[in-house]
Amino acid sequence: MRRALLVLLLGGAAQAAAGEGQAEGKALFEARCAVCHQLPEPDMLNPGQWKRLLLLMQKRMQQAGIPPLDNEAFTLVYDYLAAQVKQGGRQGRKQ
């Protein structure tokens, strides 16, 4: 019984942490990407495409003299975008 309770508590903590990470990733996406261009829809690409595009944007930021995302911020933004695709993508949005 105690083990089941511990598993439930740890699972809840992990979900809360993931939710906080998603919020932080969304905020970074909105703040950093909108500096240079209109924000794309988060579900427009699959996770692999997002990773390639984010890496390309990192290079473009450096070329423009804009500090690129650090590893933690990159991961937060990527995880946010990948989660949006997994939550239904374009099929899940109302037209």
Q: pLDDT tens digit string along 2-53?
A: 565 444 445 554 455 567 779 999 999 999 999 999 999 999 999 999 999 9
Instruction: Give CA–CA dist 49/52, Å, rounded.
Output: 5
Statement: the pTM of the whole predicted model exceeds 0.75: no
Predicted pLDDT of residue 58: 97
| Residues across the chain | 95
- Structure confidence by residue, pLDDT tens digits, 54-77: 999 999 999 999 999 999 999 999
Predicted pLDDT of residue 91: 40
Determine the residue type at 50. W
Q: What distance, in Å, lies between the first and last C-alpha atoms of the chain? A: 47
Can you tell me which residue has the tokens 């209109």? Answer: 38
- Average pLDDT for 73-84: 96
